[in-house]
Amino acid sequence: NSELFTLTYGALVTQLCKDYENDEEVNKQLDKMGYNIGVRLIEDFLARSSVGRCHDFRETADVIAKVAFKMYLGITPSVTNWSPAGDEFSLILESNPLVDFVELPDNHSGLVYSNLLCGVLRGALEMVQMAVDVKFAQDTLRGDNVTEIRMKFIKRNLILLLLILAPEWWLLAPFIAHLEVLQVLDHLFLVALPGEAEDSFSLDQESVQQPLAATPAPNLAVEDFISHGALWDVETPPSAREAVTKHPWGRY
């Protein structure tokens, strides 16, 4: 019975609206909450569904639409609108259990009611070493015919970025304190390819681990490897060029 779920979500959103009084802020909070849900949900999903590692973004899209959505929301969205590069797609939801009885009032026209779902998808994929950008492209609550979630794969964007701007790497030399960094590029290429995701994991492990030093009391915050493996930032850079001139490799 999904009534309680719909009611709970509704109560959550209305309370957030009262607390923050600003649609943008509420959207952000929903996304954060969704993120926290997503990082935990992924383990439950992997434990119960026994799907293996996806080797490309298309497989990921299929698994999300056919297995994950079915398992948790009981709906099967369709995967469409693939970008030519194969790094973006849309999930079209015919029905959305979260918004069963909801109408958006005029004073909340900027509110993305189901933004929690975006956070969930983003958090879950981040835990399997895939950085994605998720947003609602269409929303039935705001007058469109269908609800459309647009998902963009960020890691591959980074590769395209580097390939396109390859000749200009040497221009960046004065901005880079340690030129050995450019040697790391080989690793980056290998690592940033979606299919090589496991290698990125073990590579980062080596850079992070000092075997005998990992003894501090477990109650101290343990840095999680994703913060060290920052080959990408979760937020998409404003424009390709800007991103490259500012800090192309995050923390390298």
Partner 1 sequence: MAIFSVYIVNKAGGLIYQYDSYVPRSENEKTFSFPLDLVLKTHDERVVVAFGQRDGIRVGHAVLSINGVDVNGRYTSDGKEVIEYLKDPTNYPVAIRFGRPRLSSNEKLMLASMFHSLFAIGSQLSPEEKSSGIEMLETDTFKLHCFQTLTGIKFIILADPRQAGIDSLLRKIYEIYSDFALKNPFYSLEMPIRCELFDQNLKLALEVAEKAGTFGPGS
Site residues for partner 1, 204-243, by CB under 8 A, read 205-206, 208-209, 211-215, 218-219, 222-226
Nearest to 5 by CA among 75, 97, 90: 97
67 binds partner 1 (CB under 8 A): no
> How far is C-alpha 145 from the chain's CA centre?
25
Q: Is position 71 an interface residue for partner 1 (rule: CB under 8 A)?
A: no
Q: Is 84 exposed, middle or buried (0-12, 13-18, 19+ CB in 10 A)?
A: exposed
Q: From the CB of 227, what's the least distance to partner 1, in Å?
A: 9
Nearer to partner 1 among residue 168 and residue 199 (C-beta) = 199
Helix (H) / strand (E) element for 247: namely none
Q: And the tokens for 63?
A: 């698994």
Considering beta carbons, is residue 83 or 207 the nearer one to partner 1? 207
Contact call for residue 39 and partner 1 (CB under 8 A): yes
Near partner 1 in 116-135, by CB under 8 A: 127-128
CB of 6 to partner 1, least distance (A): 20
Smallest distance, partner 1 to C-beta of residue 37, A: 10
DSSP string computed for 133-188 = EEEEEE-GGGT-SSEEEEEEEHHHHHHHHHHHTGGGGGGGGGG-S-GGGGGHHHHH
Q: Residue 92: enclosing H or E segment and its boundaries? A: strand 88-93
Positions that interact with partner 1 (CB under 8 A): 39-40, 42-44, 46-48, 50, 52-53, 127-128, 198-199, 201-202, 205-206, 208-209, 211-215, 218-219, 222-226
